[in-house]
Amino acid sequence: MDREIQTDRRREEQSSSNRSEANRGRTQAHDGSIASCPQDGDSQDSKRTRYLLPELPEEIWHHIISLMPMRDAARAACVSHAFQSSWRCHPNLTFTEETMFSKESFGKWMGDSNDKRYIREYNRNVGNILESHRGAGVKALELELYGPCNTKSYNRLNSWLQIAITPVLEELTLLLLSGKAKYDFPCSILSERSGNTIRYLILGNCVLRPTINLGLRCLTKLDLYEVRITGDELGRFLSNSFALEKIKLAYCDDIIRLEIPCLLQQLSCLTVFGCSGLQVIEIKAPNVYNRRAISYAIDKLSSSLPNLETLTLHSHREIVGAPMVPSKFLHLKVLSISIRNWSNMGGYDFLSLVSLLDASPSLETFGLSVSVERKYHLIVGDPSTLRQIPEHRHDSRLKDVKVTGFCPQKSLVELTRHILESAMSSLKCLILDTIHEYHYRCSGNKPDMKCSTLRKAYIKKVHKSVTATKTYIEGKVPSTAELSVLGPCSRCHAL
C-alpha cells in the first residue's frame, strides 16, 4: 500500500513537472502575453486539470472568471482548456501596453517607440482576442490604439468596434495615441439599440461628425479629449442623453459655442479645459453650478479659454472675495454673474470683482445678480468713507450695466461707484433693480397679471435700497449715461 502511494506521488510530481515545462513553452515567446492561449482540443494535461477542478455549473465558472483581471483570466485559459469557454465570455477587455505585453517587452517597446514590430504584435493580439469574443457580449472595453494612422488600420478598428459595441456594452474607452490620427468615429454604430446601454463613454484624438440623433439613453458620463466636434454636433450627439451627469471636454478646439440645454436635468458636473476656439458658454441645465464659480473662472478660464467672448457664471457659495486675475480675458465682451447664498453673502466683498472687470478690456456688457435675504453690512456714515481704487482706471469699453437685487450692502455700493468712475466716458445705461431676479414682475398694462407676492418687511427693505441709490449712486452717474432704478411695483406692492 505504501509502495502504491509513493508510486502515485512520483507520477503526480512528474505530471506537475511536465505541465510546468509545457506552460513555460507556451508563454516563453511573450513572457506572459495573454495572446498565447491554447487552441481547442483535449490534451491529457487539460483532462487532468479539469479532473482536479471542483464540479461546478458552467455559469458559476463564467462568473468567477469574469471577476478576475483580463490578463489573469487569459493566463488561466492558457493553463486549462476547462477555462477557455469562460475566458471567451470575459466581459471586461482592457487593451493597453501594460495588459498586452510583459514587463520585458513593454520596456523594449518604450525604449524604441519607432519599432513597428511591437505595434503589429499589439494589433494582432487585440484582433485575435476580440475575434474570440465575437457574440459573447462585452460589457466594458478599453482600447488604446498606437497606429499606424492609415485607412487599413481604421477599417480594422471599425471591425473591432462592430464586435464590441452590442446591446450589452456599458463602458467604452477609445484612445488613439498618435498625434497624426484622423479617425472618423462611426457614429452610426451608436444610432441603433447598440448604443442605448452605454453608461460611460471616453473618446480621445478622433473625429465625431454625427449626422443624425443618436441613442445613448443610458449615458451618464462623457469625456472627450482632443476630439474634433463642433458645438452643434455635440448637441446632436447628446440629443437623447437625458441621464447624463458628467461632461468633460479637453482640447476640443472646434467648439466655438457651447450650449448645455435645460433638458439635461441630471447633469451636475461640467469640465471644460484647453478648448482654444471656445468663445461662448451657455448653461441652462438646472443642476450645473459651482460653489466657487467666480474664483474658478479667475484661476482657470482666463488661461485655458483665451478667446472667450461671452461668459455666464452661477455661484451658490462665494466665501471670500474674488482673487487677482493671473491673465486677461482679452476678447470677453459679455459677462454675467449670479451669486446666491442665503447665509454668508453679507460678508462677501463685491468690490473684489474689480479685478475681473479690469482683466476684461473688451467688456461691453456686465450683469450682476445677487440674492441676499439675511443681514448684510450696511453703509454707515458719509459717502466719503467708502473705499476707492484710484489706480484701476483703464480705457473702458463698458456700455451697459445691470445690477439685479441691488441693496445698500457696503461693498456692492462701492463696486457700483467704481464702475461709474472707470467707465465714465463709455457707459450708456445703468439699471439698478432692487428686486431679486427670482421674483417676476407684472407687465404693467395687463390687469390680470401681477408681480410675485412679497412680504411687507421685504418691500420696506426694497424702498431703503431705492433711497440708497439717490444718496450714493445718482451723483456719480455721468451725463452721457441713463440711470434706471427699479423699485417695487406701485400697483402690486403698495404699502
Distance CA 108, CA 129 (A): 23
Burial class (CB in 10 A: 0-12, 13-18, 19+), 138: buried
Backbone angles phi, psi at 482, to 5 degrees: -105, 130
In terms of Cα–Cα distance, which of 211, 174, 218, 165 is closest to 196? 218
pLDDT of residue 64 exceeding 80, the answer is no
Task: Write out the E strands in 214-306.
Answer: 221-225, 246-250, 257-260, 269-273, 280-283
Tell me the pLDDT band of 251, cut-offs 50, 70 and 90: very high
Instruction: Name which residue leads in pLDDT, 438 or 128.
Output: 128
Q: Please say whether the beta carbons of 350 and 329 come within 8 A.
A: no
Instruction: List the beta bridge partners of residue 473.
Output: none
Tell me the pLDDT band of 222, cut-offs 50, 70 and 90: very high
CA 373, distance to chain mean position in Å, is 33
Q: Please say whether the beta carbons of 274 and 248 come within 8 A.
A: no
Q: What is the pTM of this model?
A: 0.60
**Res 78: pLDDT:** 61
Tell me the pLDDT band of 292, cut-offs 50, 70 and 90: low
Distance CA 24, CA 13 (A): 17
Most confident range (mean pLDDT) of 68-72, 186-190, 332-336, 344-348 is 332-336
Q: Which residue has the cell 461691453?
A: 364
- What are the pLDDT digits (tens) for 96-116? 887 777 666 666 665 565 667
Task: Write out the E strands in 350-395.
Answer: 365-371
User: Residue ranges of the domains in the chain?
Assistant: 351-495
pLDDT of residue 240 exceeding 80, the answer is yes
